[in-house]
Amino acid sequence: SRTYLITGAASGIGRATAELLCAQGHTVIGADLKDSDISADLATAEGRAELVTRARELAGGRLDAVVACAGLAHADPLTIKVNHFGAVATFEGLHPLLASGTDPRALVIGSVDAVHPTDSAIVDAALAGDEEAAVAASRLAVDRGEGHLVYSSSKAAISRWIRRTAVKDDWAGAGIPLNAVGPGVILTPLTRPLLDDPETRRLVEQAVPMPLHGHARPEQLAPLIAWLTSPENTHVTGQVVFADGGADAVLRGDRI
């Protein structure tokens, strides 16, 4: 059995993944704002440090896999802090524990929104590792009425970070696959308010068309996450694996 650390484990995709892995007999250490083994706010430097310190204690110095599910979709600079910088801090901070693990694997939840229009100032600042500039660019987007770009930009940035980082010496060279899963619309507390309102529901359905099976439950995503972070995944790395009912194929078409 393996030891997994999952951020965002108290709700939605993180919780469903934790439940599946526990049912398979693995040990799961959960992290979230509250209601988890580790309470840590991944928007802050203190929370990111707390995650690493507590993970080291609870896991006994080694982890076999890290799954970064913590995230939010607010039209607010907080979204770039958690979705991009919180995930990067999770992977960088826990890398030494993974390096001591058996068949180590790492994965973040991206989004099909990464293929939507983005704000290049936010994405570029995020990829340069400049959190202050990324927050400032996010605030500008919000101020000019384009706050929705903060979320798509956070997902584009973390997807590109994954691709750049996965092939480096300390990941691929150390035998650690690093991937993203890109969901379409999953029925979780994150999307419930959008889907409950008929007006925003129509906008969501337009923006993320899902011809195959429609909106998904988080339990339908968990097996893919489990496989990508299992020892069976020996060669998939640097990928954003879309699990989106066909949304990426509709939106991007031939652009591959």
Q: To the nearest whole angstrom, how small is the minimum distance from the Cβ of residue 113 to ligand NAD?
A: 7
Looking at beta carbons only, is 12 or 93 nearer to ligand NAD? 12
Interface segment toward ligand NAD; rule CB under 6 A; list 12-20, 129-137, 164-172, 228-236: 12-20
90 near ligand NAD (CB under 6 A): no
Q: For residue 88, which of 68, 62, 115 has the smallest C-alpha distance?
A: 68
Q: Pick the closer one to ligand NAD by CB: 81 or 95.
A: 81
Q: Does 141 bind ligand NAD (CB under 6 A)?
A: no
User: Residue 161 to residues 10, 124, 147, 189: CA-CA distances in angstroms?
Assistant: 25, 11, 22, 26
- What's the DSSP call for residue 109? E
Active-site positions read 151
- Own/partner contacts of 10-14, CB < 8 Å, gap of 24 or more, are 10/34, 10/35, 10/36, 11/188, 11/189, 11/190, 12/69, 12/186, 12/188, 12/189, 12/190, 12/218, 13/69, 13/109, 13/183, 13/186, 13/188, 13/218, 13/221, 13/222, 13/225, 14/67, 14/69, 14/70
Using CB under 6 A as the binding rule, the residues of this chain from 184 to 213 that contact ligand NAD are 185-186, 188-191
Going by C-alpha positions, the residue among 50, 134, 37 that lies closest to residue 84 is 134
Stretch that binds ligand NAD, among 58-66, 96-104, 180-188, 223-231 (CB under 6 A): 180-188
Nearest to 72 by CA among 62, 85, 87, 83: 83
Question: Mask of contacts with ligand NAD, 48-77, x by CB under 6 A?
Answer: ---------------------xxxxx----
Cβ proximity to ligand NAD, 99 vs 224, nearer residue: 224
Which of 93, 183, 238, 245 touches ligand NAD (CB under 6 A)?
183
Determine, following the binding rule CB under 6 A, whether residue 13 of this chain makes contact with ligand NAD: yes
Q: What is the DSSP string of 157-194?
A: HHHHHHHHHHTSTTTGGGT--EEEEEES-B-STTTHHH
17 contributes a contact to ligand NAD by CB under 6 A? no
Q: Does 159 bind ligand NAD (CB under 6 A)?
A: no
- d(CA 86, CA 83) in angstroms, rounded, equals 6
Binders of ligand NAD among residues 24 to 53 (CB under 6 A) are: 32-33, 41-43
**Per-residue binder mask for ligand NAD (CB under 6 A), 103-132, x = binder:** ------x-x---------------------
Contact between 83 and ligand NAD per CB under 6 A: yes
Using the rule CB under 6 A, is 138 a contact of ligand NAD?
no
Question: Which residues here bind ligand NAD, judged by CB under 6 A?
Answer: 8, 10-14, 32-33, 41-43, 69-73, 82-83, 109, 111, 183, 185-186, 188-191
